[in-house]
């Protein structure tokens, strides 16, 4: 990756921006007894009367150790959705630049492109749900700033072949964003370990899935220090609130519990796949590396409605390209899974 120049990819307005400097930016506590009279906070302690750490240092120090990166290679946001939006706003000039996405995939990339007035060039996955590298590179031009690669992919569930992602990292002139929302369910290694090799790589993860904290909104971006520092320039100063920082820290320190829950979910996934295999109205069960299973059925609308009548809500993905008559089942608790399987067996 010789000659990579991040500045060429950053929007001019962001390059020139003088970021907002908060009270907590200007004076960082050294832990000694200080009187903080600088931020117009209410002084009476109720646990959250102070502004949160804008750089979430305690949480980042744990994540950095666990992932083998430096704290300055981490940016945290209000869910990955905020992180992805920040990436758009740093690199993509409205009404001028474009991004490349690979449907069927996570719907937010397209929505964020729309919000930011960025053209979304869609290059369909191949029939076996892999990136079509040749077509992707053909679709790219000098205004293509980002490629979004979701692996394991939502809604298909599979991880993409590493060699395809590697080729894109080596051949695409913009940044490659690998969305690893489901990486903790996968046997594959995270792309975080490749950050040293590829200055054009951004990896996003989240505490919303395997970590069981969708309600606190904590998304994570791992990238080069250079990329993280430009994202920091535009992020809202206090984008990750105090309660979220505390709950996230507790949870990432409790790896044993997270791993135990992930293993249970994977065991239940095996049971669910077995049951789906025995159903006459299910014709394909797609390989999954995530906490959900995509299945092709005889009539997705009909099966969706039947399940709804039994108070089971699954996701009908039939409107997505290559996903005609598919339903996506999230793996629930053992009790929920048992219920679902019993109901599925009764459908006719």
Positions touching ligand PLP (CB under 6 A) are: 79-81, 106, 150, 154, 179, 181, 206, 208-209, 214, 219
- Shortest distance, CB of residue 38 to ligand PLP, whole angstroms? 32
Which residue, 24 or 180, has its beta carbon nearer to ligand PLP?
180
150 vs 165 by CB, closer to ligand PLP: 150
Q: Is the CB of 81 or the CB of 184 nearer to ligand PLP?
A: 81
Q: Is the Cβ of residue 205 or residue 281 nearer to ligand PLP in the bound state? A: 205
Tell me how far, at minimum, the Cβ of 277 lies from ligand PLP, in Å.
Answer: 25
| d(C-alpha 143, C-alpha 155), whole Å | 28
Q: How far is the CB of 141 from ligand PLP (least distance, A)?
A: 26
Q: At closest approach, how far in Å is the CB of 217 from ligand PLP? A: 7
Question: What is each CA distance from 312 to 199, 279, 292, 304, in whole angstroms?
Answer: 45, 17, 15, 9
Question: C-beta of 317: minimal distance to ligand PLP in Å?
Answer: 12
Residue closer to ligand PLP (CB basis): 52 or 219: 219
The β-bridge relationship of strands 326-330 and 292-297 is: antiparallel
CB 203 to ligand PLP: min, Å: 12
Cβ proximity to ligand PLP: between 103 and 281 the closer is: 103
Residue of closest CB approach to ligand PLP: 79
Cβ contacts of 59 within 8 Å, gap of 6 or more:
76, 245, 248, 249, 252
Provide the minimum distance between the beta carbon of 192 and ligand PLP in the complex, in angstroms, as a whole number.
16
Q: How far is the CB of 152 from ligand PLP (least distance, A)?
A: 8
- Between 199 and 219, name the residue whose CB sits nearer to ligand PLP: 219
Q: Are 81 and 55 in contact (CB under 8 A)?
A: no
Question: Shortest distance, CB of residue 50 to ligand PLP, whole angstroms?
Answer: 25
> Nearer Cβ to ligand PLP, position 103 or 219?
219
Q: What is the 3-state secondary structure (H, E, C) of the chain?
A: CCCCCHHHCCCHHHHCCCCCCCHHHHCCCCCCCCCCCCCCCCCCCCCCCCCCCCCCHHHHHHHHHHHCCCHHHEEEECHHHHHHHHHHHHHCCCCCCEEEECCCCCCHHHHHHHHCCCEEEECCCCCCCCCCHHHHHHHCCCCEEEEEEECCCCCCCCCCCHHHHHHHHHHCCCEEEEECCCHHHCCCCCHHHHCCCCCCEEEEEECCCCCCCHHHCCEEEECCHHHHHHHHHHCCCCCCCHHHHHHHHHHHHCHHHHHHHHHHHHHHHHHHHHHHHCCCCEEEECCCCCCEEEEEECCHHHHHHHHHHCCCCCEECCCCCCCCCEEEEECCCHHHHHHHHHHHHHCC
In the complex with ligand PLP, which residue's Cβ is closer, 148 or 281? Answer: 148
């Amino acid at each position: 990756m010789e000659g990579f120049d991040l500045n060429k990819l950053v929007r001019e307005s962001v390059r020139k921006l003088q970021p907002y400097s908060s009270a907590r930016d200007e004076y960082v506590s050294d832990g000694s007894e200080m009187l903080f009279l600088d931020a117009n906070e209410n002084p009476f302690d109720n646990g959250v009367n102070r502004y949160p750490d804008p750089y979430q240092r305690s949480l980042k120090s744990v994540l950095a150790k666990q992932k083998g990166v430096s704290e300055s290679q981490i940016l945290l946001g209000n869910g990955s959705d905020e992180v992805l939006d920040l990436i758009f706003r740093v690199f993509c000039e409205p009404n001028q630049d474009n991004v490349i996405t690979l449907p069927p995939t996570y719907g937010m990339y397209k929505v964020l492109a729309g919000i930011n007035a960025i053209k979304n060039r869609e290059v369909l996955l191949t029939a076996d749900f892999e990136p079509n590298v040749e077509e992707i590179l053909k679709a790219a031009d000098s205004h293509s700033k980002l490629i979004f690669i979701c692996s394991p992919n939502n809604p298909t569930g599979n991880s993409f072949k590493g060699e395809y992602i590697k080729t894109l990292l080596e051949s695409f002139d913009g940044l490659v964003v690998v969305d690893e929302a489901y990486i903790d369910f996968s046997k594959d290694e995270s792309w975080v370990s490749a950050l040293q090799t590829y200055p054009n790589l951004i990896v996003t993860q989240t505490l919303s899935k395997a970590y069981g904290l969708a309600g606190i909104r904590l998304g994570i971006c791992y990238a080069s220090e250079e990329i993280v520092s430009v994202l920091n320039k535009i992020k809202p100063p206090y984008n990750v609130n105090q309660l979220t920082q505390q709950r996230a820290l507790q949870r990432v320190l409790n790896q044993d519990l997270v791993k135990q829950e992930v293993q249970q979910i994977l065991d239940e996934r095996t049971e669910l796949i077995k049951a789906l295999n025995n159903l006459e109205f299910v014709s394909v069960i797609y390989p999954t590396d995530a906490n959900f299973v995509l299945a092709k059925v005889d009539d997705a609308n009909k099966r969706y409605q039947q399940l709804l009548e039994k108070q089971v809500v699954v996701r009908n993905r039939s409107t997505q390209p290559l996903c005609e008559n598919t339903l996506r089942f999230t793996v629930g608790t053992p009790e929920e899974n048992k219920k679902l399987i019993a109901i599925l067996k009764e459908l006719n």
